[in-house]
Amino acid sequence: MNNSDNSVFDDLRNGEAITSTHPGRAELRKSAYETIQLLLQMNSSADPLTIIKFLGQITGQKIDETVAVFPPLYINYGRHLSIGKNVFINFDCTFLTLGGIVIEDNVLIGPKVSLLSEGHPLAPTERSALVPGKIHIKKNAWIGANAIILPGVTIGENAVVAAGAVVSKNVDDNTVVAGIPAKFVKQI
């Protein structure tokens, strides 16, 4: 049950499902449109420092100058997104961040990768609820092109997610996973 002292964003960060009757539900859409406004400016830039500046405004954090983003990048709410140093994010990625996404140092993210830290229940009568699940990508991980990381997943240190994989379970350190759903391929 949500604490009336918390915002809808605090409730999501705390792992609570947000139903259609949550008193702060309207804030989700309002915030998304504010983020889209900043993304439009960021995604129209080819200057690395301008991109980093807008990404910092979106996340509410200082983004290290070693971070490189090739726009476009799509984010619905940046305040639950944390990006380490020397991170590379390739073209056309989508980050749904309401459940929280942590990207540690030296992570490589290929083009068209989707990091989805939120979803919905299967039951049609409950499907309008938003269910968060934090994503954590540890140091030196490499997420291949067009991979999808689902809510609640941790990608281990030095792990590789093959292109096109759909990751629904945690990935151990120093391993390669591939396929739909992603399965262990080999130890690194």
Q: For the domain that residue 90 is a member of, what is the CATH number?
A: 2.160.10.10
Confidence grade of residue 6 (pLDDT, cut at 50, 70, 90): confident
The answer to whether position 17 is within a domain reads yes
How many whole angstroms separate alpha carbon 132 and alpha carbon 113? 19
User: Does pLDDT of 85 surpass 80?
Assistant: yes
Predicted TM-score (pTM) of this structure: 0.95
- Number of structural domains in the chain: 1
Q: Give the count of beta carbons closer than 10 Å to the beta carbon of residue 124.
A: 7
Residues with catalytic annotation?
120
Domain hosting 62: range is 8-187
User: Does pLDDT of 3 surpass 50?
Assistant: no
